[in-house]
């Protein structure tokens, strides 16, 4: 029989408070344990202000910032996938490698997307 989370039944303000707390715990965990995430946060700390200051339209600024945030989102999902795979087993397995490689490829594509969008916005 499946075990349901005791927090799934929460509603209203309590659910929102719990969701915010879990999100902040996840961000702090990523900052503590994931070097790639820390590097991408530093990148975001440079690029978000650069996008705000860039002499482009508000829509272009939003697109540039969205691409930066997408990299962080994909990195968080990749880190979650890696943690789940490692929780299942630390032994070398072709499917575990494939899962981790696919997550890494997703991060790479989000970085390529970032570079392409920023290049198009800034240089036409």
- Residues with a known catalytic role: 75
Interatomic CA distance for residues 19 and 32, integer angstroms: 20
Interatomic CA distance for residues 99 and 53, integer angstroms: 38
């Amino acid at each position: 029989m499946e075990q349901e989370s005791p927090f799934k039944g929460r509603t209203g303000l309590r659910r929102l408070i719990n969701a915010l707390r879990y999100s902040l715990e996840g961000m702090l965990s990523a900052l503590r344990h994931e070097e790639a995430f820390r590097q991408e946060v530093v990148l975001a700390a440079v690029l978000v202000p650069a996008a705000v200051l860039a002499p482009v339209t508000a829509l272009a600024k939003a697109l540039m910032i969205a691409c930066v945030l997408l990299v962080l989102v994909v990195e968080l999902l990749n880190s979650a996938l890696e943690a789940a795979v490692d929780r299942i087993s630390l032994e070398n397995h072709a499917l575990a490698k494939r899962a981790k490689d696919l997550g890494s490829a997703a991060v790479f594509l989000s970085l390529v997307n970032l570079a392409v969008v920023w290049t198009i916005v800034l240089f036409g």
